[in-house]
Amino acid sequence: GKNEYDLLIIGGGSGGLACAKEAAQFGRKVAILDYVEPSPQGTKWGLGGTCVNVGCIPKKLMHQAALLGSALKDAQHYGWNIAQPVDHTWSVMAKAVQNYVKSLNWGHRVQLQDKKVKYFNMKGSFSDPHTIRGLTKAGKKTIVTAENIVIATGGRPKYPMHIAGALEYGITSDDLFWLKESPGKTLTPFVFNVSLECAGFLTGIGLDTTVMMRSIPLRGFDQQMASLVTEHMESYGTKFLKRCFPTKVEKLESNRLQVTWKNTELGTEETDSFDTVMWAVGRAPDTETLNLEAVGVKTNSETGKIIVDASEATSVPHIYAVGDITEGRPELTPTAIAAGKLLAQRLFGQSSELMDYDNVPTTVFTPLEYGCVGLSEEAAVQCYGSDNIEVYHAYYKPLEFTVAERDATQCYMKMVCLRESEQRILGLHFIGPNAGEVIQGFALGIKCGATYPELMKTIGIHPTCAEEITKLHITKRSGLDATVTGC
Amino acid sequence: QEAAKYEKKVMVLDFVMPTPLGNSWGLGGTCVNVGCIPKKLMHQAALLGQALQDSRKFGWQFTEEVKHNWMTMAESIQNYVGSLNWGYRVTLREKNVTYENAYGEFVGPHTVKATNKRGVEKLYTAARFLIATGERPRYLGIPGDKEYCISSDDLFSLPYCPGKTLVVGASYVALECAGFLAGLGLDVTVMVRSILLRGFDQDIANKIGEYMEEHGIKFIKEFVPIKVEEGTPGRLKVTAKSTKGNQIIEGEYNTVLLAIGRDACTRKIGLDKVGVKINEKTGKIPVNDEEQTNVPYIYAVGDILQDKLELTPVAIQAGRLLVQRLYGGATSKCDYVNVPTTVFTPLEYGACGYSEETAVEKFGEENIEVYHSHFWPLEWTVPSRDNNKCYAKIICNIQDNERVIGFHVLGPNAGEITQGFAAAIKCGMTKEQLDSTIGIHPVCAE
């Protein structure tokens, strides 16, 4: 046709890259635009999107660094003689993490090349429904036309613009992972999983870290589990300022930051100084410079996200969207990847399979990890009524914690089931080490419609934490002590 | 414990015959004292050694020289095991189960003689009996084996560091022990008669062996020891013969650990007096699908059962369900199909269902599809180690909607990963359902 490409993707992140590579498999002419607008602090990165550069990957690696700090302490109980003091050097860790991320950037570029996907390091915006104007860093313009266009530009962290000094002096997760020097004494106001995860590993590597929260932690997640997660962090050493919110950030002569906040419980105003203030107030979809109005792609007036239907189609024919940019979808890499792949298969591979967003498992990588799939207890109660659900639960102690003399108070799991005879599993929640590894297989079981009796017929693997899930038998309704005892 | 819930009058006889070297332990059986529990803890100690090395790459700094103290570890572990022994005694007391630390044997119908440590004998009668005596390590039957060699029964409470060790055997016990001993910094050699991990997927077994070799464990393949004697002071001299010819080799070690198999404790408990049939060759007891022996009032569970899996959770499940059927009116039988398991070698191996060989044998190569992948755990990237060693494969039955009939994963936390997949296999998962499940990122299980 008259269009240069069969498929043009704007955004080289999890969703965009997956879609591009899949489409290329069908022998299509595919192009992808990726561009990183530097953060207000000047941080930028390469191809791969949020997950690779400023999300999942560096986050998990730094989380691992913190876990290894705990391992060092445990090791002494297991007979390893390590002379104190044990120190952590931020720059060694950061460099190693950044080098690995760069290798992934490189890997993606090589893959695109191998699959003959044309890559433009340009910022794209719409001229018309089939035409994209690409702009390089230097200001050079390129016009690209395509039969189908996929918007996958993701999101960027928001700044609380109403707080004086927030933009000038604060950083976000976009900057944290690329810091060359230690962030030092850090404050993370607000409590989305990102801030808890970051506060968690910063504490773990020995930094003085404070989390400030106005109301509840991990909104949208099961609140009982969220409390256990934050309780553990408190016992682990992270400081929490509850029912507080910041009002201003100022720079001191020493170059440190002075933060003022309101304590809504005591009705007082308090201040303290920090080396770093990291905002985690949510992410905004990256649509501003796309010029969506020019082509009529509809967005949600509240969130700014692009509205799509079950086939990832926007309000404009031949224009699609996947990933964090889309309204009503989980902001997760695996869903973006799956959606991108399936979209390519539907466009070019004669498939009609739609993305299933139900029962998507996820894990919060706090010092004590929290993995879950399905409904929270509150959502289940709301949906079915507390009389119609049964919650099986247990407090357990990982074997490895015993010799290490570690506190397992928050190691807990619960399964929310329908109460009627089949007892289908609605949700599974697990707090403990390796929560992601534990939950993944069970998510699969839930996809297969697993019921409580089927789970009970499954023999446990001994000794693991996951086996306790197959042994859940105390209900919340019974009021009995849910602590696992013995072998 | 389950029977006591139904207010039955229950008695448990437990007695540990000391090992040839005089070692013994408390209530709880193999798993708690000389199996799963101490094994996993020593495996954890070895993993922590690796974690120490990794941590430097993640920015942690401490002295170059890090040494492991066996006594500190063994003592901590024995203390924990002791707490479990104690916990069981308390639980039995609380549930009004009579416990006697005595050796039980049948002397006539419905009658058992219990002999305690001091030789005092008592007779007990019961309506029903459950035999759950488990197994003990086998010895080689060569000169010096009982005098000089240790087994897993001795290893976990050894009051001195085993030092340079020869592990004889290729069972999971042998490989797990060799694995953690090497991880603690010891010089380890494994002597193998033929193949590794008989009965397990051989493709994976070989990968496990390769990984161990790459990590410093020496393998002497196709040899069997024929004599163990004292060597230079403090050491044992082992003479071994090739299984393929006449070649003889010798080696010296501080410790020789035998892990060549286990034998059921069924020969000296008077089974002949009550007519319970056992497999004369293996010593194992055949039971029906309700764990009943050929004598209607005598049941059996656990490692002593013929053709069943030697695993703690299987024994627990079977025991519980049996009691629920006997006293609770339940009908559920223990499901021995698709029982998941994990081998805690340095590179852990989790499995559920068919191995590739048995799947090919049962269904035919053209009727199965094997999907597989190597992977590199994110946590190993920064320390730059072991790229492309981890591996996963699923075996699907093409004729049954590509139902997943075998699951195998080789990598860290294999047990935690495998458990959920075992549940999914129990629900009859197909490849399509697996494909449509979203992964958790970034973890190995995805």
* Residue A366, C-beta contacts closer than 8 angstroms, at least 6 positions apart: A193, A196, A197, A200, A229, A232, A233
Q: Is A408 on the interface with B (CB under 8 A)?
A: no
In single-letter form, the type of residue at position A206 comes to: G
Distance (Å, rounded) from C-alpha A483 to C-alpha A143?
64
Tell me the three state secondary structure of residue B228: strand
Tell me the three state secondary structure of residue A372: strand
CATH class of the domain defined by B348-436: alpha beta
Nearest-neighbour CA in chain A from B150: distance (Å): 22
* Angle value at C-alpha A69, between A66 and A71, nearest 5 degrees: 115
What is the layout of strands, in order, in the sheet containing A186-189?
A239-242, A209-213, A186-189, A276-277
Does A82 sit within 8 Å of B44, measured CB to CB? no
Phi-psi region at A49: left, alpha or beta (left = phi > 0; alpha = psi -120 to 50): left
For residue B418, which residues of chain A lie inside 8 Å, CB to CB? 441, 461, 466
pLDDT of residue A191 exceeding 80: no
> Of A72, A332, A442, which has the smallest distance from its Cβ to B60's Cβ?
A72
Q: Are B188 and B217 in contact (CB under 8 A)?
A: yes
Does A403 sit within 8 Å of B77, measured CB to CB? yes
- Residue A333 backbone phi and psi in degrees, to 5: -60, -50
Helix axes B36-57, A56-77, angle to 10 degrees: 120
Does B429 sit within 8 Å of A445, measured CB to CB? yes
8-state DSSP, B304: T
**pLDDT (tens digit per residue) in A265-286:** 999 999 999 999 999 888 999 9
> Of B40, B72, B416, which has the smallest distance from its Cβ to A466's Cβ?
B416
Residue B242 token pair: 């090739």
**pLDDT (tens digit per residue) in A127-174:** 999 999 999 999 999 999 999 999 999 999 999 999 999 999 999 999
> What's the topology of domain B138-261?
FAD/NAD(P)-binding domain (3.50.50)
Q: Is A399 on the interface with B (CB under 8 A)?
A: yes
Nearest-neighbour CA in chain B from A481: distance (Å): 15
Domain boundaries, chain B: 2-137+263-328, 138-261, 348-436
Domain boundaries, chain A: 5-157+284-349, 158-281, 368-473
Does A444 sit within 8 Å of B429, measured CB to CB? yes
**pLDDT (tens digit per residue) in A447-472:** 999 999 999 989 999 999 999 999 99
CB atoms within 10 A of CB B100: 16
For residue B445, which residues of chain A lie inside 8 Å, CB to CB? 436-437, 440-441
* Angle value at C-alpha A452, between A448 and A458, nearest 5 degrees: 80
**CA dist list (Å): A81 to B73, B179, B344, B350:** 11, 20, 24, 31
Instruction: Identify the pLDDT of residue A194.
Output: 84
Does B426 sit within 8 Å of A455, measured CB to CB? yes
Q: Is A92 on the interface with B (CB under 8 A)?
A: yes
Task: Tell me what the mean pLDDT of segment A48-52 comes to.
Answer: 97
Q: How many CB pairs under 8 A join A and B?
A: 290
Does B58 sit within 8 Å of A92, measured CB to CB? yes
* Residue B400, C-beta contacts closer than 8 angstroms, at least 6 positions apart: none
Chain B residue with minimum CA distance to A339: B438
For residue A60, which residues of chain B lie inside 8 Å, CB to CB? 378-379, 442
Q: Are A175 and A267 in contact (CB under 8 A)?
A: no
Nearest-neighbour CA in chain A from B308: distance (Å): 13
Instruction: Identify the pLDDT of residue B181.
Output: 98
Question: Chain centroid to CA A446: how far?
Answer: 22
Task: Tell me what the mean pLDDT of segment A384-400 comes to.
Answer: 97
Does the global pTM surpass 0.90?
Answer: yes
A324 is in an annotated binding site: yes
Q: Is A394 on the interface with B (CB under 8 A)?
A: no
Encode chain B (446 residues) as per-residue pLDDT tens digits: 999 999 999 999 999 999 999 999 999 999 999 999 999 999 999 999 999 999 999 999 998 889 999 999 999 999 999 999 999 999 999 999 999 999 999 999 999 999 999 999 999 999 999 999 999 999 999 999 999 999 999 999 999 999 999 999 999 999 999 999 999 999 999 999 999 999 999 999 999 999 999 999 999 999 999 999 999 999 999 999 999 999 999 999 999 999 999 999 999 999 999 999 999 999 999 999 999 999 999 999 999 999 899 999 999 999 999 999 999 999 989 888 899 999 999 999 999 999 999 999 999 999 999 999 999 999 999 999 999 899 999 999 999 999 999 999 999 999 999 999 999 999 999 999 999 999 999 999 99
Does B36 sit within 8 Å of A88, measured CB to CB? no
Nearest-neighbour CA in chain A from B108: distance (Å): 33
Instruction: Identify the pLDDT of residue B8.
Output: 92
pLDDT of residue A1 exceeding 60: no
Q: Are A201 and A58 in contact (CB under 8 A)?
A: no
Residue by residue, DSSP assigns A143-193 as EEEEEEEEE---EEE---TTSBTHHHH-B-HHHHTT-SS---SEEEES--H
A409 vs A218: which has the higher pLDDT: A409
Instruction: Identify the pLDDT of residue A342.
Output: 96
Instruction: Identify the pLDDT of residue A219.
Output: 86
For residue B404, which residues of chain A lie inside 8 Å, CB to CB? none
Does B415 sit within 8 Å of A466, measured CB to CB? yes
> Of A69, A334, A460, which has the smallest distance from its Cβ to B441's Cβ?
A334
Does B69 sit within 8 Å of A361, measured CB to CB? no
Q: Of A63, A88, A318, A462, which is the active-site residue?
A: A462
3-state helix, strand, coil in chain A (%, to 5): 35, 25, 40
Task: Tell me what the mean pLDDT of segment A378-382 comes to.
Answer: 97
> What's the topology of domain A5-157+284-349?
FAD/NAD(P)-binding domain (3.50.50)
A462 is catalytic: yes
Instruction: Identify the pLDDT of residue A487.
Output: 54
* Residue B228, C-beta contacts closer than 8 angstroms, at least 6 positions apart: B142, B143, B144, B145, B147, B148, B149, B236, B237, B238, B239, B256
Helix axes A223-236, A193-204, angle to 10 degrees: 20
Q: Is A401 on the interface with B (CB under 8 A)?
A: no
Q: Is A403 on the interface with B (CB under 8 A)?
A: yes
Nearest-neighbour CA in chain B from A34: distance (Å): 22
Chain B residue with minimum CA distance to A372: B440
For residue B52, which residues of chain A lie inside 8 Å, CB to CB? 71-72, 75, 80, 82
B2-137+263-328 and B138-261 in the same fold: yes
CATH no. of B2-137+263-328: 3.50.50.60
For residue B48, which residues of chain A lie inside 8 Å, CB to CB? 71, 74-75, 78, 80
Instruction: Identify the pLDDT of residue B378.
Output: 96
**pLDDT (tens digit per residue) in A283-320:** 999 999 999 999 999 999 999 999 999 999 999 999 99
Q: Are A230 and A262 in contact (CB under 8 A)?
A: no
**pLDDT (tens digit per residue) in A195-253:** 899 999 999 999 999 999 888 888 889 999 999 999 999 999 999 999 999 999 999 99
> Of A60, A88, A361, which has the smallest distance from its Cβ to B378's Cβ?
A60
Q: Are B347 and B213 in contact (CB under 8 A)?
A: no
Candidates B62, B427, B430, partner chain A, best to mutate (most A CBs within 10 A): B427
Instruction: Write down the H helix ranges in A332-432.
Output: 333-348, 377-384, 399-404
Does B80 sit within 8 Å of A403, measured CB to CB? yes
> Of A69, A459, A465, which has the smallest distance from its Cβ to B60's Cβ?
A69
CA torsion sign for A196, A199, A202, A204 is negative
Instruction: Identify the pLDDT of residue A281.
Output: 87
Instruction: Identify the pLDDT of residue A323.
Output: 97
Distance (Å, rounded) from C-alpha B446 to C-alpha B439?
5
A5-157+284-349 and A368-473 in the same fold: no
Q: Are B438 and A361 in contact (CB under 8 A)?
A: yes
8-state DSSP, A272: E
Q: Are B336 and B298 in contact (CB under 8 A)?
A: no
Q: Which long-range contacts link B126-129 to residues 24+ away (Cβ below 8 Å)?
A: B126/B11, B127/B297, B128/B297, B128/B298, B128/B299, B128/B326, B129/B297, B129/B298, B129/B299
Does B76 sit within 8 Å of A462, measured CB to CB? no
Distance (Å, rounded) from C-alpha B133 to C-alpha B263?
11
Q: Are A94 and A3 in contact (CB under 8 A)?
A: no
Does A360 sit within 8 Å of B433, measured CB to CB? no
> What's the topology of domain A368-473?
Enolase-like; domain 1 (3.30.390)
Instruction: Identify the pLDDT of residue A189.
Output: 86
* Residue A347, C-beta contacts closer than 8 angstroms, at least 6 positions apart: A7, A23, A148
Q: Is A204 on the interface with B (CB under 8 A)?
A: no
CATH class of the domain defined by A158-281: alpha beta
Nearest-neighbour CA in chain A from B76: distance (Å): 6
Candidates A365, A399, A461, A481, partner chain B, best to mutate (most B CBs within 10 A): A461
Strands B98-100 and B121-125: unpaired
ipTM confidence = 0.93
> Of A360, A439, A459, which has the smallest distance from its Cβ to B314's Cβ?
A459
Q: In percent, how much of chain A has pLDDT > 90?
A: 93
pLDDT of residue A83 exceeding 80: yes
> Of A78, A441, A464, which has the smallest distance from its Cβ to B73's Cβ?
A78
